[in-house]
Amino acid sequence: MRMSTSRALGVALTFALLPVGVATAADPVEEFYKGKTISSIVPFGPGGGYSIYNQIMARHLGKFIPGQPQIVPQHMPGAGGIVASNHLYNVAKRDGLVMAMVSDSVALASVIDADKIKYKVNEFVWLGAIERVNNVLAARADTGVKSYAELRDKEVVVGASGPGSPTSMLPALLRWMEPVKLKTVEGYEGINPMFTALERNEISAMTVSWTIFKTLRKNWFDTGFVVPLVQFGSVKEKDLPNVVLANDIAKTPEQKAVSRFMASNVDVGRSFILPPGVPAERVTALRAAFDRMVKDAAFVAEIEKAGFQLSPATGAEVQEAVAQATKLDAGVVEAIKGIIAKAK
């Protein structure tokens, strides 16, 4: 039996006047995040690359999350990023309202500094990476050291934030591979204090990502104030063709295996994570929001304006990279821990 035109219009009008929540099921993720604030933990102090990346992310990511929550960075420096990772794993609520931008050495520290960490790196939920990094050791030119080979003859004092950070572990790798004269001074809460210490000649060298060096202290290299000595990625930076890779310094199979492991932080890069246990539908929404953000024209423009590179990876890609980096034979793990402990 056919419905009359007037009756059909009446039915349509009835549904049109129903509240949205009655006519369609509400999105539980949107309902949860609406009017909320997400805290994003920064593992180092203000002013450095991690802080700047976080500030840019905080201005954009919320637009792509259902409910459009605000995002507020929260600095939590200490122990080369381990303090922030420990907090996220053990203290932060597991509801999707706390995230963190972890140190790119978070996977390395889980193996090398296992006695200091209070987290299981493969249980974190990875949202994605903004950039994969290549760390570079650079020294003041007035040290007289112009190349890696000259580190065998002249002592250089290297600044570092803590034992779990690349600023400490990568110089330790070099000391283990060859008798270079690198003395590490730890305790700097982030890159900016190290920059200041190097300018004041309190330290003579530091290890930081090449992107951060170029973005925040490009004039150092333009004027010859500092000289790049070693890079720790898996491949050379295009603008550092004559600066040796740590992988190329390694001679024995053991050294090469350790060096490759230490370079695994390249794939972790500038990543954001959640604690384990966040509801699956919120994880899905946050990962999707992150993937949309890194392709958004406004976000890309702000990253480029800040002088940073953008080489993003999805949460699943970083999660797999971390799993591979930590998939080591127990005997190899113990050997690496012993080597690095002796090198400190």
Predicted confidence (pLDDT) per residue in 160-214, tens digit: 987 767 888 889 889 988 899 999 999 898 889 999 999 999 999 999 989 889 9
Domain termination site, one of 245, 265, 285: 265
CA of residue 24 relative to chain centroid, distance: 40
The reported pLDDT for the residue numbered 72 is: 98
The reported pLDDT for the residue numbered 19 is: 52
The reported pLDDT for the residue numbered 23 is: 41
Same domain, 161 and 249: yes
Same domain, 283 and 254: no
Residue 129 has pLDDT above 80, yes or no: yes
Q: Cβ(194)–Cβ(206) under 8 Å?
A: yes
Most confident of 97-101, 128-132, 322-326: 97-101
| Domain count across the chain | 2
On average, the pLDDT of the chain sits at 87
Residue 133's pLDDT band (cuts 50, 70, 90): confident
Residues whose CB is less than 8 angstroms from the CB of residue 159 and which lie 6 or more positions away in sequence, other chains included: 167, 184, 185, 188, 194, 197, 198, 202, 203, 205, 206
Q: In this structure, is residue 73 part of a structural domain? A: yes
Compute the C-alpha angle 219/102/255, nearest 5°. Answer: 80
Same domain, 220 and 160: yes
Q: Cβ(318)–Cβ(126) under 8 Å?
A: yes
Same domain, 97 and 165: no
**Segments of 30-120 assigned E as strands:** 37-42, 70-75, 98-101
Q: Cβ(325)–Cβ(267) under 8 Å?
A: yes
Q: In this structure, is residue 127 part of a structural domain? A: yes
The reported pLDDT for the residue numbered 21 is: 46
Domain termination site, one of 250, 265, 280: 265
What is the pTM for the complete model shown?
0.73
Residue 7's pLDDT band (cuts 50, 70, 90): low
246 versus 338: the higher-pLDDT residue is 246
The reported pLDDT for the residue numbered 261 is: 79
72 versus 106: the higher-pLDDT residue is 72
Average pLDDT over residues 293-297: 98
Residue 25 has pLDDT above 80, yes or no: no
| Neighbour count for residue 322 (Cβ, 10 Å) | 22
Place of tokens 């992988």: 247
Same domain, 273 and 321: yes
Same domain, 250 and 223: yes
| Percent of the chain surpassing pLDDT 70 | 90
Q: In this structure, is residue 34 part of a structural domain? A: yes
Tens digits of residue pLDDT in 266-283: 778 889 999 999 999 999
Tens digits of residue pLDDT in 318-344: 999 888 878 877 766 776 776 666 545
The reported pLDDT for the residue numbered 119 is: 94
Give the residue numbers spanning the domain of 295. 28-132+266-330
Q: In this structure, is residue 317 part of a structural domain? A: yes
Q: In this structure, is residue 256 part of a structural domain? A: yes
Q: In this structure, is residue 207 part of a structural domain? A: yes
The reported pLDDT for the residue numbered 219 is: 97
